[in-house]
Structure 1
Amino acid sequence: MLKPAFLTGRWVWIPAALVVAIGGWFTWQAIWGAEKPPEYQTAEVTRGDLEVTISSAGKILPRETVAVGAQVSGQLNELFVEAGDFVERGDLVARIDATIAETNVEASEAQLRELEATRKQQQASLGLARANFERAKMLFENDAVARADFEAAQAEYTVAQGRIEAINAQISRQSSTLRAQRATLEFTNIYAPISGTVVSLEAVEGQTLNAAQTAPTILTLADLSIMTVETDVSEADVLRIEPGQDAWFTTLGDAARRWPTTVRQVLPTPEVLNDVVLYKALLDVENPESRLKPQMTAQVFFLTGAARGAVLVPVTALQTSPGRGQRPGGAQGRQTAEAGQGRPARTGGGLMQAEASEPATPRGGGRDGGNRDAMRAAREANPDAEPGMVLVMTADGTPRPQPVLVGLRTRTHAEIIQGLEPGQIVVTGEVSLQRPAGPPQGQQRGGPPPGMRRG
């Protein structure tokens, strides 16, 4: 009776041990067994526009601004405009008290009339002196008068001519004085020198203006139909900016609207602020709707390169190539070997690194030969482009190195001149997989746990 009980207990534990052993084997395989395939971050190759720009900040100012001042002293009697009013060139905008100026004009006119009356008297004396001289000359030629009487008549006639010339000079001088005083009287009326908007008023009615030393400013006119953006450009970027270059800017109040413009001038004299050398660039823009106001802040973008309808990829898709002279072996050797097998090599940050050289292709024609010829032709047509490498996802889900020719590049996207087509999927990064610690020391990778045989 004891033997069957023993046999019964023995056969019960054997299946249980096999179940435990098989479960441990599958658990080990799940944790330390076959290596999980890597997961990739990808992006689709698209077609779009690309712009390479230099950015700077500036201020919006009127291109033409005039400070309207007073040329005569006196009290400001009338001011006909207010801030914000639009005036045409020649419009009367202000008037200064003209009492003193009018008095001076009246006095000069009276003096001029007096001189003209004196000239009439002198003209009469000149006529009499001429007649006496001609009579004395005739008598002297006929020996009917003494030489002394003839010479006296001649001298009297010459003096009369000199008096007329002197009075004419006095009249000319007085006429000039009168014109100046009339101009001073006209200066009491202030007219707009340009067509524009009154942007500020510096004087008020009743204020006394003193123009003895400097011309006091009454108001400021600005032509707001054309605005100028003054922006500071660093010395590192100024050599890439030149007159006529395309640019655009936005304002803080309407960042979604682009204002296209061109560079009018780059001022040669820099401004040094805290040892930073800055150059002024001037850009003009039409402002028909008066949306742009003086002193607005503008974010300016100078266009240094543009591509329309280009093939675009994220810049993270461009793979770096290993340095020359690296030999296979170690970590670098494993990365090169993996890339040669069509698998991307992993870097410490989880991003891929692929060979920069073109994949080996058989000599002769065929599709690979055509790709090489197309790449060579693209390089000759675009000498400024740079060769690069991307990883293209194949139909079976594995990345394949693909040589490309890279054109313009921004912080986010790059132009692919040759090598890719829209719709392809490129690798932009690898998702890092957190794996548990390796098997205990002495346990080989890929083998079963101790005490378990491979089935």
Structure 2
Amino acid sequence: MNKTIKTARADTPPRSDAAPNVTFIPGAVKTVTRKRRPRRWLWVPVVLAVAGAAWYGWTRYGESPASSAVVTEVVARGDIENAVTAVGTLDAVNSVDAGAQVSGQLKALHVAIGDRVTGDQLVAEIDPATIENRIEIDQAELANLQAQLISKKAQLVLKQANIDRQRNLVETKSVAQSTLDQAIADLAAAEADVNAIEAQIRKQQATLAGDKVDLGYTKIFAPISGTIVANPAKAGQTLNANQTTPTIVTIADLSTMTVKAQVSEADVIRLKVGMDAYFTLLGQPGKRFSGKLRQIQPMPDTTNNVVLYYALFDVPNPDGELMMSMSAQVFFLRDAARDVLVVPSSALTYPAKGTGEGSDRRDGAGSQARGEGRKAQVSVVTASGAIETRDVEVGIRNRVSAEIKSGLEEGEKVVVGTGSSATGTSRDNRNQRGGMRMPPMF
């Protein structure tokens, strides 16, 4: 049986784990190929980018040469001023320091900073005890002297009577002449004593009167009507008035303020007393406070070799919005015009004097008034885009703008400089939207 099994296993072909050897006949299996669709949508962003670049290049570089090479401003109507500018500070026209004329402890302070007071209003009190004691002593001393005077006058009457008696005795030769002489001398001495006591009484009366005045100084009254702006002294503080007068409160009349402007020595010669002036505050740059130049102080203030003169003018302050030591931007008006044609000063050129050639842009660059009433030239961009030079008459001028009296029309474009087309285009657009904007004065 075992032989038979072995034979059967031998006849059975051995199993193999390798892949069977399969031969593929070409053409027997049908291959399926997918057809690709054209992806045309991928070109859409490229086309859009090219179109955008072309549009940008045309709008940026497709302008006329005149508009792409210059910067223009539109001739517009506005207000213009020729003014001397300065900086200054505000102060009260009238202010007084109320101080102590006697020494002593500040017993009471009846006001505070910001309080309004009227003239002769009680604002503070100094302890009067020391002065009251001095007055009591003065009165006692005066009473003593007055009593001595009564005694001396009684002695004087006695001495006078003794002389009369001694003179009668001398006439009857009852006494010697020397006795009468002694009586006369005693009378003279008695009169001198009376005069001395009377002088001491007058002196003591003056001392008493002075102490009474000092007693009155222990009550401090407001010398003017106004507002308390400072109180250096505090209640309970001891004041010493022997060397300097200590200030208790400062009272200022804020109903009218004065502007103290510092003007350079180059500009002060252009100021005249009585000329119009105004100022603006840092917190209210659009609001003007007007007045007239009242005084130009002759003594300047020199700091680091810079000479500055003080020009003063007053302004009313009914609402109390102006306060002490405020900073002010001050303008002293030399000329002004309203609703006139205005162009930037940089658009003007002036022919050189004595020749008809060239121009002098520096004429007027350092002076506000230079160029007024003179002929000048401007470059105007015409409707076709060409640039033409035109003569104009200049009126009021400052460092920023100039008035045009003739030669230009409102809405025309004048050349103010050269630059990129982007700058010129943006400025033109701004001008077309809102007209020429006047630059701030400071």
Q: CA deviation at 1:294?
A: 0.9
| Pairs within 5 Å for 1:229-378 | 229-308=259-338, 310-321=340-351
Partner Cα distance (1:137, 1:405) in 2: 116
The answer on whether the counterparts of 2:341 and 2:410 sit within 8 Å (CA) in structure 1 is no
- Which of 37, 43, 64 is residue 74 of structure 2 equivalent to? 43
Q: CA deviation at 1:90?
A: 1.5
| Aligned twin of 1:129 | 159
Partner Cα distance (1:309, 1:142) in 2: 120
Q: CA deviation at 1:166?
A: 0.8
Partner Cα distance (1:386, 1:217) in 2: 59
| Pairs within 5 Å for 1:397-408 | 401-408=389-396
| Aligned twin of 1:427 | 414
Q: Any stretches of 5+ residues in structure 2 without a counterpart?
A: 1-62, 361-370, 422-442
- Which of 217, 224, 233 is residue 194 of structure 1 equivalent to? 224
| 1:227 equivalent in alignment to 2:257 | yes
Partner Cα distance (1:431, 1:172) in 2: 94
How far does the alpha carbon of each residue in 1:335-390 deviate from its partner, in whole angstroms, 9 at most, with x for none?
xxxxxxxxxxxxxxxxxx89xxxxxxxxxxxxxxxxxxxxxxxxxxxx96212234
Q: CA deviation at 1:87?
A: 1.2
Q: CA deviation at 1:135?
A: 4.2
The answer on whether the counterparts of 1:68 and 1:192 sit within 8 Å (CA) in structure 2 is yes
Q: TM-score, normalised by structure 1?
A: 0.67
Q: TM-score, normalised by structure 2?
A: 0.68
The answer on whether the counterparts of 2:276 and 2:292 sit within 8 Å (CA) in structure 1 is yes
How far does the alpha carbon of each residue in 1:293-313 deviate from its partner, in whole angstroms, 9 at most, with x for none?
112111111112223565544
Partner Cα distance (1:280, 1:391) in 2: 42
Partner Cα distance (2:221, 2:251) in 1: 11
SS at match of 1:403: strand
- Greater shift after overlay, 291-300 or 225-234? 225-234
SS at match of 1:150: helix
Structure 1 counterpart of 2:391, one-letter code: P
Based on CA coordinates, which of the two structures has the bigger radius of gyration?
2
SS at match of 1:185: helix
The answer on whether the counterparts of 1:235 and 1:278 sit within 8 Å (CA) in structure 2 is yes
Q: CA deviation at 1:401?
A: 5.0
SS at match of 1:289: coil
Partner Cα distance (1:36, 1:228) in 2: 57
Structure 2 counterpart of 1:303, one-letter code: L
Q: CA deviation at 1:211?
A: 2.8
Structure 2 counterpart of 1:247, one-letter code: A
SS at match of 1:389: strand
SS at match of 1:204: coil
| 1:114 equivalent in alignment to 2:144 | yes
| Aligned twin of 2:181 | 151
Q: Any stretches of 5+ residues in structure 1 without a counterpart?
A: 1-34, 333-352, 355-382, 435-455
| 1:164 equivalent in alignment to 2:194 | yes
The answer on whether the counterparts of 2:81 and 2:337 sit within 8 Å (CA) in structure 1 is yes
SS at match of 2:98: strand
| Aligned twin of 2:135 | 105
Partner Cα distance (1:323, 1:69) in 2: 66
- Which of 392, 398, 402 is residue 410 of structure 1 equivalent to? 398
- Greater shift after overlay, 238-247 or 390-399? 390-399
How many residues are matched?
A: 348
SS at match of 2:134: helix
Partner Cα distance (2:201, 2:217) in 1: 24
The answer on whether the counterparts of 2:346 and 2:417 sit within 8 Å (CA) in structure 1 is no
Partner Cα distance (2:201, 2:420) in 1: 107
Kindly tell me: are residues 143 and 402 of structure 1, through their superposed partners in 2, closer, same or farther at Cα, counting changes over 3 Å? farther
The answer on whether the counterparts of 1:68 and 1:217 sit within 8 Å (CA) in structure 2 is yes
Structure 2 counterpart of 1:98, one-letter code: P
Q: CA deviation at 1:408?
A: 1.5
The answer on whether the counterparts of 1:45 and 1:426 sit within 8 Å (CA) in structure 2 is no
The Cα RMSD (Å) is 3.5
Q: CA deviation at 1:177?
A: 1.0
- Greater shift after overlay, 182-191 or 302-311? 302-311
Give the % identical residues: 41
Structure 1 counterpart of 2:312, one-letter code: L
Partner Cα distance (2:401, 2:181) in 1: 108
Partner Cα distance (1:433, 1:225) in 2: 55
Partner Cα distance (1:422, 1:134) in 2: 120
| Pairs within 5 Å for 1:176-195 | 176-195=206-225
The answer on whether the counterparts of 2:374 and 2:393 sit within 8 Å (CA) in structure 1 is yes
Q: CA deviation at 1:430?
A: 8.3
Q: CA deviation at 1:432?
A: 7.5
The answer on whether the counterparts of 1:392 and 1:424 sit within 8 Å (CA) in structure 2 is no
Q: CA deviation at 1:156?
A: 2.4
The answer on whether the counterparts of 2:92 and 2:253 sit within 8 Å (CA) in structure 1 is yes
